[in-house]
Structure 1
Amino acid sequence: MNKFKYYFILFITTITLFSCSKDDVAPITPPRDYAVQYATDLNDIEEYLKNYYIEDVSPDVDTKITKIPTGGSQSSIWSYLNSTTFPKLLSKEVKLHDITYKLYYVVLREGVGQSPSNTDRVLTAYKGEYLGRTKVAEVETLTPTFFEEARSPQQFFNLTSTIVGWGESFPQFKTGTYSSNADGTVSYQNFGAGILFIPSGLGYFNSGSANIPSYAPLVFSIKLYEINRVDSDNDGIPNYLEDVNGDGYMRVLATGVANPDDTDGDGIPNYLDTDDDGDGVSTRTEITAANGTIIPFESIPSCDGNTTNPDRIKRHLVKCN
């Protein structure tokens, strides 16, 4: 009897599990069109820039951004567009998703050190907010919402693993200097600092992240403390030295598109290519001395063997005849 009861319950359970029709399955909403969403994001970002002002910048470049009150005379962030003095509101074009994004950023302080490439690691303090529209009493307003802050960063971020907007923005800033304190902490000075305004297509787009909703433009206040140079292909040459055209950016481009940072034209940019000049000999082998040590980049000879001419072309970047 007990066995019959067991099989009866199993039978009923099985029917229940498999009796759901396809009509009960929630439809999957496809992602929005990138171009359509970008138009919305750009409108929101520019509205923010025109209606908010930098209320305060502390000596440590902590920024406080506030909405201009009705009738207020404060200078909006937009008023700094292409300024020749700090703060400067600048923009750069980023081609992605078959559209051209305008990426706005404010430079509060440029920094005195080196700039990262978009494939390096950065040590940065930051505060993040996202933009969204809220409706109160039938009145819709654009408001920023805080989601995360790192005031004393302990780890480097690889810009190839962060959102695209970070990789495109950080090369516009430079590191500063630092000193060690008696208590073991480090103090940073003269670092680059600014504010990034990132469309969702260069952020998290439809996926969102933790407390960030989907399709949200992002606003980051950042301080660039330090750089950790990366050698992605482990060929003995740091990525930033494989940036042939020197623009600070290296990318994997679509097939058929000429890549200025791909010496042998094999579709693999130099920073990911273990044989940059396509001669069948790895770059690491070409720059390894007889004693097994890596030859410093500055000592790598040009095609004619010259190591003293400052304008020489390194053989790992250009094919030698």
Structure 2
Amino acid sequence: MNKFKYYFILLLAGIAIVSCNKSDDEDVVTVPPRDYKEQYKADNDSIVKYLKSNYMTVVHAPGTPQDLDVVIKKIVPGDGNVSIWDQKEYPLQTRKVYSNDVNYEVYFLSLREGTGSKPMNTDKIVASYSGNLLNGTVFDSSYGNAETFNLFAYSPEGSVIEGWSEIFPQFRTGTSTTNAGTGVITYDNYGAGVMFLPSGLAYYASGKGTIPAYTSIVFSFKLFDLQRMDNEYTISSSTGGVVILGDGVPDYLEDVNGDGYVYDFRNTTKYPNPPKELIDDTDGDGIADFVDFDDDGDGFSTRFELTKPTTEIGIIGGINYGTRLYYPWDPTVDNPNTPNVDEYEPRGIPRRPTGALTDPTKPESATNTKKYVEEDYTAPGRLRIHLDKTYPIKKN
């Protein structure tokens, strides 16, 4: 009898435990993400404290893979080391970033700007990096190796965190030499720096690997090279994924305000109140030029307006018009480093033609256009036809 009571009590206890677990599963509470503005205040306080309580050493070994490597350590009272905040050799800089309706000020250091070109925040880059938490824990590194990354937020192959897209364009690429025997590429004069990122421009609520949610992080980095991108995209009807098509004009040439950054402000959740000075939208249709297939809104696609007539492709009548099907931004000369490709193009994207009318006795119209003169393809400061909504002339 006692044994029966014992097992009966265990059975009831087991049922109770199962019941409690089931209830817990059904009552899972989803915790909403923290407020971005409040989290930024906490992140910024942590970053400033980090900058004031740590010092860094920089390896100066020009021409070696160790050039401008960075080591950051905590200051020990009385050790005589000067904090990152107070040191003067590499003055602390900030960049203003608007994202998730927060006006961030991102701290970064420029160890060397670099001598080449600046990437756009939508280009591909070749870089090396090392990342650590504010407690000094290294969570990731390329170990000095050059790797390729896409800064474009909507890249179908995946992109980097937002902080990278904002800080890398502050630097320039370097120079490169390729060993003829081994094929190994050596970089020099590249940009190098350190960025201190609040969680809102990093992994925020999701975290990643050993990076906890809502964690500010630090990256030291080197910018070796870049690839210009042309990012007009569409969404695949079959897969729902992003498909990059481009319109013939690289993103860096669609930066209307010339600040080195372009943004797709159609994402009104992320950008509810975008500053007007950040908008790069020629036709004012709410679609930035770098993702707009019709930049001037004239009903003719940019790709159509950049297409060269078949009479201006290749050698015609003894004149070399270049081999491309589309006009480049400006006339280009052949690159001797690409012997198998002829980049020569004597004409860039033209402006609205200014020559004589096809029929001088009739007014200008879609069927009686003016003829192009050579200056229409080369004049400095010309309004190129893909940005001129008055051309092509529409038929009545």
Residue identity opposite 2:258 in structure 1? G
State the match for 1:25 in structure 2: 27
Task: Supply the distance in 2 between the matched residues of 1:23 and 1:188 (Cα, whole angstroms).
Answer: 55
Task: Supply the distance in 2 between the matched residues of 1:158 and 1:105 (Cα, whole angstroms).
Answer: 18
The counterpart of 1:294, out of the listed 311, 315, 326, is 326
State the match for 2:345 in structure 1: none
The counterpart of 2:149, out of the listed 156, 168, 188, is 156
State the match for 1:275 in structure 2: 294
Taking the TM superposition and a 5 Å limit, the aligned residue runs for 1:1-321 are: 20-21=22-23, 25-59=27-61, 60-80=67-87, 87-131=90-134, 143-150=135-142, 151-160=144-153, 161-181=159-179, 182-233=181-232, 234-253=246-265, 254=268, 258=276, 260-291=279-310, 293-298=325-330, 299-303=348-352, 306-320=376-390
> Any idea what the Cα deviations from partners look like across 1:211-262, whole Å, max 9, x if unmatched?
2111110100010011011111211100111001110111122478656311
Residue identity opposite 1:227 in structure 2? L
CA contact (8 A) 2:264 2:291 kept: no
Task: Supply the distance in 1 between the matched residues of 2:217 and 2:304 (Cα, whole angstroms).
Answer: 44
Offset of residue 303 of structure 1: 4.2
Task: Supply the distance in 1 between the matched residues of 2:349 and 2:308 (Cα, whole angstroms).
Answer: 10
Residue identity opposite 1:213 in structure 2? P
Offset of residue 130 of structure 1: 1.7
After TM superposition, the structure 1 stretch with the greater mean CA deviation from structure 2, 224-233 or 286-295, is 286-295
Q: In structure 1, the residue corresponding to 2:22 is in which secondary structure?
A: coil
> Any idea what the Cα deviations from partners look like across 1:93-119, whole Å, max 9, x if unmatched?
111222211111100000000000001
Offset of residue 319 of structure 1: 3.5
Task: Supply the distance in 2 between the matched residues of 1:37 and 1:263 (Cα, whole angstroms).
Answer: 35
Residue identity opposite 1:149 in structure 2? S
Residue identity opposite 1:272 in structure 2? V
State the match for 1:136 in structure 2: none
Task: Supply the distance in 1 between the matched residues of 2:250 and 2:174 (Cα, whole angstroms).
Answer: 20
Task: Supply the distance in 2 between the matched residues of 1:104 and 1:287 (Cα, whole angstroms).
Answer: 41
Offset of residue 290 of structure 1: 1.2
Task: Supply the distance in 2 between the matched residues of 1:237 and 1:223 (Cα, whole angstroms).
Answer: 27
Q: In structure 1, the residue corresponding to 2:377 is in which secondary structure?
A: coil
Task: Supply the distance in 2 between the matched residues of 1:51 and 1:256 (Cα, whole angstroms).
Answer: 36
Question: Between Structure 1 and Structure 2, whose CA radius of gyration is higher?
Answer: 2
Offset of residue 23 of structure 1: 7.2
Q: In structure 2, the residue corresponding to 1:44 is in which secondary structure?
A: helix
Give me the TM-score of the superposition, normalised by structure 1.
0.84
Q: In structure 2, the residue corresponding to 1:53 is in which secondary structure?
A: strand
Offset of residue 204 of structure 1: 0.5
Q: In structure 1, the residue corresponding to 2:85 is in which secondary structure?
A: helix
Give me the TM-score of the superposition, normalised by structure 2.
0.69
Task: Supply the distance in 2 between the matched residues of 1:62 and 1:74 (Cα, whole angstroms).
Answer: 18
CA contact (8 A) 1:122 1:159 kept: no
How many residues of Structure 1 are paired with residues of Structure 2 in the alignment?
292
After TM superposition, the structure 1 stretch with the greater mean CA deviation from structure 2, 53-62 or 23-32, is 23-32
Measured at CA, do residues 18 and 39 of structure 1 come closer, stay the same or move farther in structure 2, by a change above 3 Å?
Answer: closer
RMSD: 2.4
Q: In structure 2, the residue corresponding to 1:39 is in which secondary structure?
A: helix
CA contact (8 A) 1:87 1:108 kept: yes
The structure whose residues are more often strand, as a share, is 1
Task: Supply the distance in 2 between the matched residues of 1:307 and 1:54 (Cα, whole angstroms).
Answer: 52
Task: Supply the distance in 1 between the matched residues of 2:291 and 2:152 (Cα, whole angstroms).
Answer: 15
Task: Supply the distance in 1 between the matched residues of 2:37 and 2:377 (Cα, whole angstroms).
Answer: 49
Offset of residue 48 of structure 1: 1.0
Q: In structure 1, the residue corresponding to 2:307 is in which secondary structure?
A: coil
Residue identity opposite 1:176 in structure 2? G
- Structure 1: runs of 5 or more not aligned: 1-15, 132-142
CA contact (8 A) 2:161 2:201 kept: yes
- Structure 2: runs of 5 or more not aligned: 1-17, 62-66, 154-158, 233-245, 311-323, 331-347, 355-375, 392-396
Task: Supply the distance in 1 between the matched residues of 2:273 and 2:72 (Cα, whole angstroms).
Answer: 44
State the match for 1:135 in structure 2: none
Measured at CA, do residues 310 and 73 of structure 1 come closer, stay the same or move farther in structure 2, by a change above 3 Å?
Answer: farther
CA contact (8 A) 1:196 1:219 kept: yes
* Bigger RCO (CA 8 Å, 6+ sep): 1
